[in-house]
Amino acid sequence: MGFYSPENIQLMKRFPDLAPELYQSYIAFSKAVLSDGHLTKKDKEIIAVAVSHATECPYCIDFHTKKAKKEGASAEELFEAVMVAAAIEAGGAYAHRMQMHRAYDGNAADAFYKSSDLADLKTMSDLTPEISASAHAFFSKAMAAGKLSAKQKQLIAVAVAHKSECPYCIASHTAGAKQEGCSKEELAEAAMTAALLRSGGVVTHAVNMLKSFEGENEKSSHN
């Protein structure tokens, strides 16, 4: 039996006894974030599925996929959301080549993450033009309207960008979301959904902590 047995999630029933007030505060936070607001529960659960793939938490993927399905999300919508997350994770790494080129060439900037970097990124010459072309094609296709609207995809992108902490992605996709008609309140709820999923992965992994603390993982590794 591995570290991620589905039965592990049953250990969450013990959380209220370990820190009652603190855990209930977290549950209240979770419910507030995922309730209908400027975004629907369905939209929030779709965002949650995308972010949980970026955080790589199997518990969160399982839980929020089931919740999204209950709210009416289709498998096609969820897969498009996952692909947006993949594009943002790849795009963040790709955008940071700005820092790599400067460091390699010894052209240290007076500050990291200057706002002018966004314009510079568009004109940067690439050492691997064929790979870059395929990357841009993927990024463009991932953000195009499909089963999810362009607006929904930009909201997902902003949420995942907050998870990946890429200032280039946050700036670029906030602008894209605004262009698609997203309000500041909708963007705030998308960002808070990302915040919840980041914390949720940590909290849920406490089941692994409990198993390790009680020696269950050591027993499993010897079986």
Task: Write the pLDDT tens digit of every residue in 45-54.
Answer: 999 999 999 9
pLDDT at 84 over 90: yes
Query: CA-CA distance, 156 to 149, in Å (whole number)?
Result: 11
d(CA 138, CA 125): 19
Distance CA 196, CA 29 (A): 8
Length of the chain, in residues: 223
Q: Of the given ranges (3-7, 84-88, 109-113), which has the lowest mean pLDDT? A: 109-113
**pLDDT for 218:** 53
Quick one: pLDDT at residue 222? 47
Confidence of residue 146 (pLDDT cuts 50, 70, 90): very high
Residue given tokens 């505060």 in the structure block: 25
In contact, 60 and 201? CB cutoff 8 Å: yes
Q: Which residues contact 146 (CB under 8 A, 6 or more apart)?
A: 76, 80
Q: What is the enclosing helix (H) or strand (E) of 189?
A: helix 184-204
pLDDT: is 46 or 107 the higher one?
A: 46
Q: So what's the pLDDT on residue 104?
A: 84
| Stretch 110-129: mean pLDDT | 73
- Right CATH for 39-108+115-221 from 1.20.1290.10, 2.40.30.10, 3.30.530.20, 1.10.760.10: 1.20.1290.10
Q: What is the mean pLDDT of residues 110-125?
A: 72
